[in-house]
Chains A and B, each alone.
Chain A
């Protein structure tokens, strides 16, 4: 047992009036050269909502995977209700009473709710009885579900309910939740919090992973903070502020973003979208319905929305990966809905898609080659006479690396070897390096740690203030309020009219997300 654990344990004892449910001691997990978890001590009491905080790569996922049996610790011990256990597989975890709700859902879209749940339950037996149980349990916990609905027809918030109900049916004593609110509207999140509080009052413990410090502060009884694989602090989040929690996670003060002069109107419309409608390309895609928007020089417009409401389709229509009607998209007043992505890039537009690996960058190619990917047609001298200039690409790679602080273990590595935050700095930097007149970014800081996120957000604002039009599509409301001049909301393929960010509230965004966008869409 480690010495470092001693002082923490004193504090743990103080709050363990309800009895310890899970007690991990000295958990260590190594991946190659990286110590993902280094002598981690963590105690979860019965009936508490326990927050696990840390930046990306701090070791949160590794830790909970060891609790859920999908990873085995290299050293250390896990005690469950006072008895030492070895959790060799998720099945063992479930039999102990540990359930997990994943950030990325594992549901079959073509099956119904009850079929999906039956697949996960051992010996599900009679489907009718199971459907009845699903209805009972889900209503009881305030998360009503129609057992016979097909998953493909359900919005993301409901899909998450399925995962939670599936977990509840196994009568867990501890539920692990990984970023549960990232796909919910504020109102849906409120509902989830009520369910969690109800569960806690019944003695079920919740291990809650989130980047949203406000909600951690609001609902969690205790927090453990990881940095570089080690427990650095434990605290009572209700006695902290979001800023102090962020400081504990990052280890230093997080740089604030400065908005600079606010330029809400006056500039010329550089990116115009009028009556943009597009039928879905696949059965699970969202239809875009008569979208209107004008992004002016000098401003940042942010589009809020819950995942899967047409953000990806809108991005593809603006970038040119999905061709639409000629007059639906205008760049600097030139109609180009029918043009390809490189034509639009030559008109000084730049795009950063949501998915870094596999869309914004080719995983197995070097960074310099990934520069050629989006810039071979923009007259940077990367491709002349059909030949690619590796020297020029290498030069640009050096420049972008230095300017946007992209950290790497050796020079010009393959894109897949970079951490999420560093790769994001690279794919954003690659486009900013062109000083584009129009920049469209989908999820600019998705999964990026606080330091890198601040750098990227500041760069977006600076670009807008230098006379460009910036459109940000994001699911992170904190981010949207931090950088946007005007805010619009996308819901089921409808886009609301953008409104002044200073007058916008979370409640109003929540209402628009829940369908209000459809009624205000025509007004634009």
Chain B
């Protein structure tokens, strides 16, 4: 018996929908095995990780707070990945955007009026886009591999942030703690309700809707999809691959920068040496789990945010290392990519015929 992968004539729309669900199912099985290996009750572990956070308002709000940056970044990344631009450095664009967005409240704390917030968001978007421009220009100009350059710039941005909060941007009245000053009220995003949820969540939903329309209905969305699948056909259609690379990186950088600014302005209220639990990397999983489709990304963002909260929950109540959250996120991406194979291929089982003796192969 032999197993063959056979190419389908067209992609299967059923598998496109089913693949992330199967991947989530397989991740659950793998997670249960992980819990068992570490000597915990697997069912209790799964319950605490995946279900319990959904049962009370505090953790639901926390999920939304964490899902917001994931969704925003993943929306930008989906445009990159659809158009064959492999931006892996959203984490760096997030951090650099947050730095630029914090410039006003840190350096000019007295500048506090109605224009402060919009200007911060603008600076954040510009900063993220500028940081993303570096790999984009290197790619279009010198043909460098954007996976490497964008990834390496993550660490540059992280170290820059670390330097600033320990050095020039340290809070003068902060007892030498490596933190910036606390933002004024005018530099803080308005809160919704009485929890930690700010208006960043509805902003993310608006971005999702706009992007969904752009991708499905406009010529720009068409261009993005054509370029991703077939650059040669794209240039035959009169689209420019280089311009689109710049566009995709600028857009995803700007969205990551806005997400970073909203994170420091809405949740942290100051700059810290570390401002992200790896949102920029987790967003890659969100983008793929969400089928590079904005609406799918919205759902996937919740699933991945849940894994952050669930990880904290099992650490607190069962004493499992919180690294389990990263492991489960990684498994999820692994299973999604594996299941995606079946969108364009199907399995076939071939019965091996009994080998008949081959006549002596004599050369004359």
Contacts and interface: CB of A to CB of B under 8 A. Distances in A.
Interface string A137-174: 00000000000000000000000000000000001010
A363 B230 contact: yes
Interface string B205-227: 00000000000011111100110
Interface in B12-48: none
Nearest to A32: B6
B356 A86 contact: yes
Contacts of B237: 341-342, 373-374, 376
Nearest to A84: B356
B233 A97 contact: no
Nearest to A373: B237
B238 A173 contact: no
Contacts of B221: 388
Contacts of B359: 80-81, 83-85, 96
Given A85-B358, A358-B230, A173 B364 contact: yes
Given A365-B226, A417-B9, A321 B355 contact: no
A123 to B, nearest CB: 14
Contacts of A376: 219, 222, 237
A377 B356 CA distance: 61
A342 B229 contact: no
Nearest to B356: A86
Given A72-B353, A85-B359, A377-B238, A417 B233 contact: no
A405 interface: no
Contacts of A88: 355
Given A359-B236, A376-B222, A414 B230 contact: no
A387 B226 contact: no
Contacts of A340: 238
Interface in B313-364: 353, 355-356, 358-359, 361, 363-364
A360 B237 CA distance: 9
B242 interface: no
Interface string A308-350: 0000000000011100000000000000000011100100000
Interface in A358-374: 358-365, 369, 372-374
B222 A95 contact: no
Nearest to A375: B237
A114 to B, nearest CB: 22
B353 A373 contact: no
A361 B222 contact: no
Contacts of A417: 9-10
A259 to B, nearest CB: 30
A498 interface: no
A92 interface: yes
Contact of A365 (B219, B229, B238): B229
A386 B224 CA distance: 13
A342 B238 CA distance: 6
A416 B233 CA distance: 13
Find the residue from B222, B232, B238 having the highest chain A CB count within 10 A: B238
Contacts of A81: 359
A387 B215 CA distance: 10
Contacts of A363: 229-230
A516 B233 CA distance: 34
Given A86-B358, A414-B10, A388 B229 contact: no
Interface string A203-243: 00000000000000000000000000000000000000000
Interface string A401-428: 0000000000001101100000000000
A362 B364 contact: no
Nearest to A358: B230
Given A85-B356, A97-B361, A414-B10, A358 B233 contact: yes
B11 A97 contact: no
A383 interface: yes
Contacts of B356: 84-86
A173 B362 CA distance: 10
A321 B236 contact: yes
A359 B235 CA distance: 8
Interface residues of B, number: 28
Interface in B42-64: none
Contacts of A319: 236
B219 A364 contact: no
A416 B222 contact: no
B236 A95 contact: no
Interface in A69-113: 72, 80-81, 83-86, 88, 92, 95-97
A88 B361 CA distance: 14
A99 to B, nearest CB: 12
Given A359-B236, A416-B9, A373 B355 contact: no
Given A85-B359, A95-B361, A413-B10, A387 B219 contact: yes
Nearest to A203: B364
A171 B353 CA distance: 29
Given A80-B359, A359-B232, A377-B238, A364 B11 contact: yes
A376 to B, nearest CB: 6
B8 to A, nearest CB: 9
A86 B236 contact: no
A24 to B, nearest CB: 14
A355 interface: yes
A353 interface: yes
A369 B232 contact: no
Contacts of B9: 414, 416-417
Contacts of B217: 387-388
A422 B20 CA distance: 34
Contacts of A342: 237-238
Nearest to A81: B359
Contacts of B10: 413-414, 416-417
Give the one of A88, A96, A373 with max B CB within 10 A: A373
B11 A414 contact: yes
B16 to A, nearest CB: 12
Nearest to B363: A171
Contact of B233 (A320, A360, A388): A360
A275 B219 CA distance: 36
A342 B236 CA distance: 9
Given A341-B238, A364-B11, A386 B219 contact: yes
Contacts of A351: 236
Contacts of A321: 235-236
A369 B236 contact: no
Interface in B184-200: none
B236 A373 contact: yes
A202 B355 CA distance: 32
Given A86-B356, A369-B222, A359 B233 contact: yes
A353 B234 CA distance: 13
- Which 3 pairs, one residue from A and one from B, show the smallest C-beta to C-beta distance? A83-B359, A342-B238, A417-B9
Interface of B: 6, 9-11, 217-222, 225-226, 229-230, 232-233, 235-238, 353, 355-356, 358-359, 361, 363-364
Given A173-B364, A362-B230, 8 more contacts: A32-B6, A84-B356, A88-B355, A92-B358, A351-B236, A358-B232, A373-B236, A388-B218
21 contacts: A80-B359, A86-B356, A97-B363, A173-B364, A321-B236, A359-B230, A359-B232, A360-B233, A362-B226, A362-B230, A363-B229, A365-B229, A369-B222, A373-B226, A373-B233, A386-B219, A387-B218, A413-B10, A414-B9, A416-B10, A417-B9
